Amino acid sequence: MARIIISLLSAALFLFSVANAQFQFFEQMFNGQQQQQRQEPQNVPSDSNWYQSNYENAHCSNYLCPDTLACVHFPHHCPCPHPMYEEKFELGDGKMICVSKGGFKEGEAARKVELARKGLL
pLDDT tens per residue across span 60-115: 999 999 999 999 999 999 999 999 888 888 887 888 899 887 666 777 777 888 88
Q: How far apart are CA 111 and CA 120, in angstroms?
A: 11
Q: What is the pTM of this model?
A: 0.54
Mean pLDDT over 34-43 rounds to 72
β-pairing, 96-100 vs 71-72, is unpaired
β-pairing, 96-100 vs 86-90, is antiparallel
Contact indicator for 99, 87 with CB cutoff of 8 Å: yes
Contact indicator for 38, 48 with CB cutoff of 8 Å: no
| pLDDT for residue 28 is more than 80 | no
Look at residue 1 in the predicted model and tell me its pLDDT. 65
